Amino acid sequence: MPKVAINNRKYKESELEKFVKSKCVRRGIKLQDIAVELGVSRSTLWRELKKGTTKYGELLLIVNALDLSDEEVVNLMRLNERTK
């Protein structure tokens, strides 16, 4: 029987990605809607959130779309810095 290599690559969600995803669910907003506001595809937005390459202007649009409190905004900015 031939040996088969298994790709053990694990895809971990960043804390920033988890934060935005949970806020979208709680507020009933689809990530696609935020991506349209940003002028990017949904997959591009997820990739930026996962890698922490989200630009400041994009984060502001996400904040406005999700109607985040001041405390949540501070957490969002900290998570974005930690992801880099």
One-letter identity of residue 53: T
- For residue 63, which of 78, 77, 44 has the smallest C-alpha distance? 77
The residues of the chain scoring below 70 in pLDDT are: 1-13, 82-84
Alpha carbon dihedral 21, 26, 58, 51, in 10-degree steps, equals -10
Name the average pLDDT for the chain. 80
User: With a threshold of 0.85, does the pTM exceed it?
Assistant: no
The token pair that represents 4 in the structure block:
């088969």
The whole-number pLDDT of residue 28 equals: 93
One-letter identity of residue 84: K
The token pair that represents 84 in the structure block:
């880099």
pLDDT, tens only, 4-21:
444 444 445 678 888 888
Domains, the chain? 15-83 (1.10.260)
